[in-house]
C-alpha cells in the first residue's frame, strides 16, 4: 500500500506588534494605494529584539506539537529553515531543541537558501520518512525569519516577521504531498542577498521580481511534466505561491498564463494572512497555506493544491499535495485567528524606535511564548512563559 506522507500539523507565531500599512505610507509621503493596491499589503508585523528568530520558532513549534497532540518522543528530526539565524555556528534548531526539551536521539540542524530554506527542510523530512530511515518517527520543520530592508527603502513596506512550524508525518491530517512530483529551477543571480554582518538585506527589487517570474515559469513546467509522466492530474484547486508581497502572487499566476478570474478563485484565498503579516521569508509560502486551510479546508478536502517556493539567489520548486479529510479540524487546533487577534497596533514612531533597538527591552514573555532576554558570557538567554 502507498505510504501517505505530508504535513500533519501547522502553527504560526508572529510578533505582538504590527503597523498598519497606510500609516507607513502617509509617514513616507506615499499614496497609500501604492502599498495597498500596488503591493497588496494591509499590515506589517514588527518584531522587537526580544522576538528573535529563535523565540518565534520555539513558540510556533510548541503550538504545532500541541495542535497535533504529539508525544515529543515520536520526533526524530528538527530542521529550521532560516536566513536570519542568530549565530554563525550554533543553529536555531539547537536552541529550539533545548527550549522544548526534545529527545537527545535526534538530528538537529538549520537549512539555508534565502526563502527556500524551509522547503529544503520539508523535502528532507518527507524523503527521510519515505526512505524508511525515520523508522516510524516524525519530523519538526520550522520556518522562522525577520525580514528587514531598512527605513525609507523601497523594500520597507514588504518587511515582516514570523515563524511557521510543521509536524511532518505519515498519514498526515493536513496535506499529503505528491512525493517525487516537483519541478525545480535554480540560477546564480544577485537579486537579493545579505552580506555577513549586515542586519538589512541588499536587494535589486525589480530584477528580483523578474528572477522570481523566470523561476516560477520553469518550475511549474517541470512540475506539469512530472505530473503527466506519473498520471497525476495537473488540475489544481488552489495555488499557494511564495509571497514577498501579495501582488507578487498575482504577477506569478498571470505569468503562468492564468487569467484574473482564476486568480480570484485559485490564489486570492491564500493571501489573507500574508497581507496582515508581510514577508516572513522562509515561512511566507506556508503562511499562505495556513491562511488557505484556515479559511477553506472543508471545501478543499481531497482536492489537489499547488505550492511554489522561491529563494533568492536563486532556487525554486513547484510541488503539490492533496488536502486531507481531517484538515479543517486540525488547522482549527492552531487557533490562527486568536494568534492574529492577540496583537497590538503601533504607530510609525514606535516602529522606528523598535527598528533602532539593538538589545531586548526588559519585558516578560507573554503567556505561551518564548522571549530572548539578552546575552550572558556570549550565550543567548531565553525565557519561556
Residues that bind ligand HMG (CB under 6 A): 31, 33-34, 37-39, 83, 114-115, 154-155, 158, 191-192, 203, 205-206, 208-209, 212, 242, 244-245, 247-248, 279, 281, 310-312
Is 244 or 306 the residue whose CB approaches ligand HMG more closely? 244
Q: How far is CA 252 from CA 266, 268, 308, in A?
A: 12, 12, 10
Distance (Å, whole) CA 226 – CA 190: 29
| CA gap 339, 301 in Å, rounded | 24
Q: What are phi and psi of 369, to 5 degrees?
A: -115, 160
Residues β-bridged to residue 316:
185, 310
Question: Least distance (Å) from ligand HMG to the CB of residue 373?
Answer: 28
State the minimum distance, in angstroms, from the CB of residue 155 to ligand HMG: 4
- Spatial distance between the Cα atoms of 260 and 267, rounded to a whole number of angstroms: 10
Burial category of 186 from C-beta neighbours within 10 Å (exposed 0-12, middle 13-18, buried 19 and up): middle
CB 10 within 8 A of CB 166: yes
CA separation for the pair 46, 384 (Å, rounded): 20
**Smallest separation, CB 253 to ligand HMG (Å):** 13
Q: How near is the Cβ of 113 to ligand HMG at its closest, in Å?
A: 8
Closest CA to 55 of 163, 200, 198: 163
Q: Of 75 and 122, which has the nearer Cβ to ligand HMG?
A: 122
| Residue 170: how many other CB atoms lie within 10 Å | 16
Angle at 372 between CA 369 and CA 374, to 5 degrees: 155
d(CA 267, CA 290): 13
- Which residue's CB is nearer to ligand HMG, number 50 or number 155? 155
Residues forming the active site: 83, 115, 242
Cα–Cα dist 283/264, whole Å: 22
Q: Measured between alpha carbons, how far is 38 from 43 in angstroms, rounded to an integer?
A: 14
CB of 58 to ligand HMG, least distance (A): 22
> 154 vs 361, which CB is nearer to ligand HMG?
154
Report, in Å, the least distance between residue 192 CB and ligand HMG: 5
Residue number of the CB closest to ligand HMG reads: 38
Nearest to 155 by CA among 214, 201, 210: 201
Question: Which residue number, 154 or 359, has a Cβ lying nearer to ligand HMG?
Answer: 154
Residue 147 Cβ vs ligand HMG, minimum distance, rounded to whole Å = 7
Give whichever of 134 and 252 is closer to ligand HMG, judged by the CB atom: 252
Burial-class residue 211 by CB neighbours within 10 Å (0-12, 13-18, 19+). Answer: buried
Nearer residue to ligand HMG within complex by CB, 171 or 207: 207
Of 323, 241, 52, 325, the residue nearest 162 (C-alpha) = 52
Amino acid at each position: 500500500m502507498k505510504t501517505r506522507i505530508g504535513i500533519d500539523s501547522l502553527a504560526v507565531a508572529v510578533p505582538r506588534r504590527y503597523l498598519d500599512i497606510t500609516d507607513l505610507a502617509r509617514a513616507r509621503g506615499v499614496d497609500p494605494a501604492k502599498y495597498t493596491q500596488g503591493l497588496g499589503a494591509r499590515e506589517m508585523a514588527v518584531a522587537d529584539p526580544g522576538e528573535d528568530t529563535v523565540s518565534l520558532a520555539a513558540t510556533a513549534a510548541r503550538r504545532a506539537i500541541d495542535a497535533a497532540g504529539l508525544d515529543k518522543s515520536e520526533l526524530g528530526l528538527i530542521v529550521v529553515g532560516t536566513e536570519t539565524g542568530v549565530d554563525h555556528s550554533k543553529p536555531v534548531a539547537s536552541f529550539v531543541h533545548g527550549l522544548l526539551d526534545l529527545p537527545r536521539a535526534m538530528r538537529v540542524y538549520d537549512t539555508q537558501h534565502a526563502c527556500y530554506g524551509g522547503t529544503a527542510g520539508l523535502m528532507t523530512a518527507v524523503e527521510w520518512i519515505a526512505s524508511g530511515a525515520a523508522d516510524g518517527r516524525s519530523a519538526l520543520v520550522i520556518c522562522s525569519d525577520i525580514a528587514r530592508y531598512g527605513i525609507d527603502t523601497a523594500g520597507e513596506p514588504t518587511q515582516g516577521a514570523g515563524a511557521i512550524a510543521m509536524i511532518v508525518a505519515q498519514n498526515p491530517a493536513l496535506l499529503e504531498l505528491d512525493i517525487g512530483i516537483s519541478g525545480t529551477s535554480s540560477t546564480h543571480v544577485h537579486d537579493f542577498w545579505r552580506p555577513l554582518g549586515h542586519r538589512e538585506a541588499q536587494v535589486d527589487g525589480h530584477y528580483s521580481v523578474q528572477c522570481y517570474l523566470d523561476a516560477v515559469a520553469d518550475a511549474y513546467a517541470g512540475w506539469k511534466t512530472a505530473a503527466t509522466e506519473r498520471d497525476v492530474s495537473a488540475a489544481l484547486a488552489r495555488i499557494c505561491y511564495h509571497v514577498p508581497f501579495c501582488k507578487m502572487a498575482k504577477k506569478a499566476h498571470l505569468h503562468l498564463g492564468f487569467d484574473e478570474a482564476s486568480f480570484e478563485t485559485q490564489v486570492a484565498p491564500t493571501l489573507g494572512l500574508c497581507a496582515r503579516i508581510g514577508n516572513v521569508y522562509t515561512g511566507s509560502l506556508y503562511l499562505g497555506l495556513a491562511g488557505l486551510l484556515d479559511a477553506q479546508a472543508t471545501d478543499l478536502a481531497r482536492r489537489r493544491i499547488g505550492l511554489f517556493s522561491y529563494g533568492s539567489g536563486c532556487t525554486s520548486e513547484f510541488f503539490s499535495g492533496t488536502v486531507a479529510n481531517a484538515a479543517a479540524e486540525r488547522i482549527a487546533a492552531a487557533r490562527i485567528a486568536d494568534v492574529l487577534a492577540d496583537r497590538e497596533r503601533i504607530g510609525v514612531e514606535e516602529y522606528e524606535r523598535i527598528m533602532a533597538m539593538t538589545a531586548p527591552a526588559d519585558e516578560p514573555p507573554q503567556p505561551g511564548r518564548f522571549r530572548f532576554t539578552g546575552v550572558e558570557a556570549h550565550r543567548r538567554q531565553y525565557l519561556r512563559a
